């Protein structure tokens, strides 16, 4: 018989386990005590919220009112039929794609499974006798992961696992998403439930695994080929052959073959095709097309009867992690590269770190994932790192990355802790790794598996820890699983960060680094980013408040707490020492304010200026072959799991912050960068970040200007520099012809910043009030390719003049012009009805307004035009905010 899949997704109900009843099987009746599940897959918090039994944990301090849920035990049950007429099979399996987390599973009163790992796919073989024609009772008993964690901690000992707000250290003993225990950007919400699909599979013989091997020979040949391995479950003797078809996504057949099979369940190279000139390569975004193909495999029995079929989507590409000696040292020393090469092309990786986009994973839809990843791609990002304290995301996440050309750095799910390595734990984790490597290996977007997040770093950072037991996982188990199951190979990196001698995770010359001395750790000023990078910066960031509408959501009408340091704000700001760290960086750079809207804008501009400086100056170090000193920058973080003050560049409701747009400009195929160095007027004066920067009495200032060309062809450009004094009518311009070399940065010019004549009585350099604007213009067409403006700092000492802002709407085009330079012009839209349905269960994915560019600096004589999508036909008001108008004002209403 053909394999059948029956989704067990209907008729589910749930209840709290009655602890006074000794046997869980006796707790099934009475039926009246059960509540019908509103959706499946399911999580208990979602069901309780939909049933009106708990408040929205994302509002106010309600998180604390729902902690009891994680202390209790919960039951789910359903009934399903397997009619005798449908029993022409020899084998059956119940497959659980995700149980969160500790679960006893009973079928018709018989315990068939104990699941203790949220990240595994569990499969239970059944016989004919295990199933009834009607009313098969499937019962799931979820046990408190929180309680088990504490029991294991008592047995094996308390360990270090994170610092402020990184959850209870006992979390390391349970294979449950670590962020659910609380993190420094997320709440403690200990979920449970069948959070992914459950199916009954019946068959005589079926395809347990299809290892599609989309191979490409090394550059320069880059010749594609295809091989296929099969693992057959059930009665392999009934298998006579297989039909394999490679198709374009439109259904056009590229190649097909029917092969005879015999000889067992593990079948190697059942087809081996040379596909030269038959298929196109898959490329990351910006370097070529994301060409994908469907592979269809049909397992055949006697007389070509259908036994089973599977379909996978593949792309043909090579990917390598290149760690080779650099030809020349940079400011950190010599060391080695840490760069990704795809199809023989070395590429600078610019992207984001990803955390789960919701504390309740079942609330996320395929459309939500597509919205997030499209936003990332549209921001000129080409890599996303799936952080090790979340989950292995569902298949749709990686499918979308394949389609968009976004490369995936996939951490194994370990983060910030001293994890154990007792035998049963290691075996469970090995099975977890095998499940997920096999599930993900065919995706062309998959660029790296990484052993953990910051576990090596934590040992060094804390001190006093003489062993890291889980090294056996990071250094033996994981690399062996990746090597065995991935063909073509997928690079493996044992931890992030990792490199240097003796686990030195902060060595900027080897491996990757996480840069937290700025903002966290040592609280260095953001102006120190240029001299504190590394070969690949896989984490760094600066937090900010989200959109004011997101803040008002969690305030939930609480007007007395509508100020920056209130209790309600603290509840939604989890960063360690956030009060002191925010106070330092805000006080250094911005004028103090008690106005919430102004404070929010200033925090967002702070994040935008700091993070864009890091991207700009670190990307500068992509200097060409032999001098690719920095090969990637991934900001912490892309997204949020609830409404919160955090490092996210777009908040929980998908509202992009200013930093999203400034990152997008820094990662454009063509960009221009500038760095100002101010000469102190006394050698023993304050550090540079407080200089002109402080007293605004400098001796002189110089700028260095460079261009970045991420394309693979040289580009002839014209550099146009504009110098504008903020406090007078003085201006000056200069022009330089240049060629931007391909796939690297090109230094363009270094010069002293000019300015208006200073009064003869004082020896103060006039550059302290001069804003410098740079444009790169295509030499042939005159098209403006890139802009950047360098302003005196700190902003609290700048007296921003009235820019005489002129904003004009013409359909989807918005023209912005000024008479004086404007800093950080940020458009927001208030839509009628916006936010209805937003909350813990609905992200409010109604069509939203999107800007082609935003958070812009505009110069006199250089009007800019941005495109707005989604505004037409809506009742809405457009507001703008900028420095000296931080609260914003309405510029358009319809």
Catalytic center residues: 454
Q: Can you tell me which residue has the tokens 């199933």?
A: 131
Q: Are 515 and 534 in contact (CB under 8 A)?
A: yes
Sign of the alpha-carbon torsion through 139, 144, 145, 149? negative
**101's tokens:** 């987390």
Cross-strand bridge partners of residue 701: 678
C-alpha–C-alpha distance, residues 744 and 717, integer Å = 15
Edge-to-edge order in the sheet of strand 266-274: 205-216, 224-234, 266-274
Q: At what angle do helices 596-619 and 578-589 cross, to 10 degrees?
A: 80
Q: Cis link prior to 220 (omega < 30° from 0)?
A: yes
| Sign, CA torsion 45/49/54/60 | positive
> CA separation (Å) from 83 to 131, 134, 338?
9, 7, 58
| Strand segments (E) across 614-685 | 632-635, 670-679
**DSSP category for residue 846:** S
Distance CA 674, CA 790 (A): 7
Q: Give the helix/strand (H/E) hosting 483.
A: helix 478-485
C-alpha span between 153 and 148 (Å, rounded):
8
d(CA 740, CA 748): 9
Spatial distance between the Cα atoms of 120 and 704, rounded to a whole number of angstroms: 52
CA 469 to mean position of chain CA atoms: 28
Q: CA 471 to CA 52: how far, in whole Å?
A: 45
Please choose, from the candidates 720, 606, 719, 710, the residue with its C-alpha nearest in 3D space to the C-alpha of residue 665: 710
Tokens of 633: 């920058």
- DSSP per-residue string spanning 698-762: -SEEEEEEEEEE-SSS-EEEEEEEEEEESSSS-EEEEEEEEEEPTTEEEEEEEEEPP-SPPPTT-
Please give the Cα distance from 633 to 530 (Å, whole number). 12
Based on the number of CB atoms within 10 Å of its own CB, is 434 exposed (0-12), middle (13-18) or buried (19 or more)?
Answer: middle
Residue 410, SS3 per DSSP = strand
- 116: phi then psi, degrees, rounded to nearest 5: -135, 20
Collapsing DSSP to helix, strand or coil, 25 comes out as helix
591 half-sphere exposure, CB direction, 13 A CA radius = 13
Contact 316, 351 (CB under 8 A): no
DSSP, res 650? B
Residue 819's nearest CA partner among 759, 860, 789 is 860
CA-based nearest residue to 708, from 748, 765, 678, 755? 748
Distances in Å between the Cα of 518 and the Cα atoms of 163, 186, 256, 528, 650 are 17, 21, 56, 8, 21
CA distance 109 to 24: 10
Helix, strand, coil percent content, the chain, rounded in steps of 5: 25, 35, 45
Query: How wide is the angle at C-alpha 243 spanned by C-alphas 240 and 248, nearest 5°?
Result: 170
């Amino acid at each position: 018989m053909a394999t059948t899949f029956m989704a067990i997704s209907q008729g589910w109900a749930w209840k709290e386990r009655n602890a006074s009843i000794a046997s869980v099987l006796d707790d099934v009746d009475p039926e009246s005590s059960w509540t019908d599940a509103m959706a499946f897959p399911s999580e208990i918090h979602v069901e309780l919220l939909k049933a009106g039994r708990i408040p929205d944990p994302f509002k106010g301090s309600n998180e604390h009112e729902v902690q009891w849920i994680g202390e209790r035990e919960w039951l789910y049950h359903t009934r399903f039929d397997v009619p005798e007429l449908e029993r022409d099979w020899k084998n059956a399996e119940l497959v659980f794609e995700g149980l969160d987390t500790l679960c006893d599973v009973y079928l018709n009163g018989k315990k068939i499974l104990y699941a203790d790992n949220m990240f595994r796919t569990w499969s239970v073989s059944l016989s004919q006798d295990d199933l009834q024609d009607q009313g098969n009772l499937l019962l799931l008993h979820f046990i408190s992961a929180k309680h088990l964690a504490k029991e294991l901690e008592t047995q094996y000992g308390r360990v270090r696992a994170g610092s402020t707000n990184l959850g209870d250290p006992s979390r390391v003993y349970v294979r449950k998403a670590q962020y659910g225990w609380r993190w420094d950007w997320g709440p403690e919400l200990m979920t449970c439930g069948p959070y992914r699909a459950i199916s009954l599979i019946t068959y005589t013989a079926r395809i347990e695994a299809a290892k599609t091997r989309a191979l490409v020979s090394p550059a320069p040949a880059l010749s594609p080929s295809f091989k296929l391995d099969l693992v057959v479950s059930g009665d392999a003797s009934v298998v006579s052959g297989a039909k394999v078809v490679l198709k374009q996504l439109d259904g056009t057949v590229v190649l097909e073959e029917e092969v005879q099979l015999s000889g067992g369940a593990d079948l190697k190279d059942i087809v081996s095709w040379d596909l030269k000139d038959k298929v196109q390569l898959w490329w990351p975004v910006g370097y070529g097309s994301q060409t994908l193909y469907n592979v269809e495999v049909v397992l055949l029995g006697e007389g070509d009867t259908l036994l089973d079929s599977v379909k996978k989507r593949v792309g043909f590409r090579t990917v390598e992690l290149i760690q080779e000696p650099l030809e020349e040292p940079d400011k950190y020393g010599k060391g080695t590269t840490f760069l990704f090469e795809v199809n023989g092309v070395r590429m600078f990786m610019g992207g984001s770190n990803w955390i789960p986009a919701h504390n309740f994973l079942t609330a996320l839809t395929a459309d939500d994932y597509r919205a997030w990843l499209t936003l990332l791609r549209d921001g000129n990002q080409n890599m996303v790192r799936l952080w090790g304290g979340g989950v292995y995301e569902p298949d749709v996440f990686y499918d979308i990355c394949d389609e968009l050309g976004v490369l995936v750095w996939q951490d194994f799910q370990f983060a910030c802790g001293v994890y154990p390595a007792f035998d049963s734990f290691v075996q469970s984790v090995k099975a977890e790794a095998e499940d997920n490597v096999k599930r993900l290996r065919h995706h062309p977007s998959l660029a790296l598996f990484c052993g953990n997040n910051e576990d090596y770093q934590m040992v060094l950072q804390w001190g006093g820890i003489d062993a890291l037991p889980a090294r056996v996982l990071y250094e033996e188990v994981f690399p062996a699983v990746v090597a065995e199951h991935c063909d073509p190979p997928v690079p493996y990196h044992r931890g992030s960060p990792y490199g240097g001698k003796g686990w030195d995770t902060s060595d900027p010359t080897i491996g990757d680094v996480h840069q937290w001395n700025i903002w966290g750790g040592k609280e260095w000023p953001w102006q120190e980013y240029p001299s504190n990078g590394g070969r690949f910066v896989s984490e760094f960031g600066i937090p900010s408040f989200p959109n004011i509408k997101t803040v008002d959501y969690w305030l939930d009408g609480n007007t007395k707490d509508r100020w920056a340091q209130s209790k309600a704000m603290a509840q939604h700001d989890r960063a360690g020492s956030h009060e002191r760290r925010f106070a330092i960086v805000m006080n250094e750079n911005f004028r103090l304010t008690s106005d919430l809207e102004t404070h929010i804008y200033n925090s967002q501009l702070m994040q935008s200026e700091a993070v864009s400086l890091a991207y700009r100056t670190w990307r500068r170090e992509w200097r060409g072959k032999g001098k690719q000193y920095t090969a990637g920058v991934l900001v912490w973080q892309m997204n949020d799991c609830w409404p919160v003050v955090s490092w996210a560049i777009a908040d929980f409701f998908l509202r992009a912050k200013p930093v999203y747009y400034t990152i997008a400009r820094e990662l454009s195929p063509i960009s221009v960068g500038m760095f100002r160095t101010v000469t102190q007027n006394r050698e023993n004066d304050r550090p540079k970040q407080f200089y002109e920067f402080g007293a605004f009495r400098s001796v002189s200032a110089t700028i260095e200007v460079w261009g970045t060309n991420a394309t693979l062809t040289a580009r002839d450009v014209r550099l146009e520099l504009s110098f504008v004094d903020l406090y007078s009518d003085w201006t000056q311009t200069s022009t330089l012809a240049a060629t931007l070399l391909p796939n690297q940065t090109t230094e363009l010019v270094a010069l002293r910043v000019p300015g208006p004549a200073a009064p003869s009585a004082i020896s103060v350099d006039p550059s302290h009030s001069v804003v410098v604007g740079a444009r790169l213009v295509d030499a042939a067409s005159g098209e403006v390719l890139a802009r950047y403006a360098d302003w005196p700092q700190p902003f609290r000492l700048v007296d921003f003049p009235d820019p005489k802002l002129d904003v004009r709407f013409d359909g989807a085009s918005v023209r912005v012009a000024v008479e004086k330079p404007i800093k950080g012009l940020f458009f927001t839209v208030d839509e009628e009805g916006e936010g209805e349905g937003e909350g813990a269960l609905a992200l409010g994915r109604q069509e939203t307004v999107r800007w082609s560019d935003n958070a812009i600096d505009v110069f006199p004589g250089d009007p800019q035009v941005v495109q707005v999508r989604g505004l037409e036909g809506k009742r809405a008001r457009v507001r703008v905010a900028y420095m000296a108008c931080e609260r914003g004002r309405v510029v358009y209403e319809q």
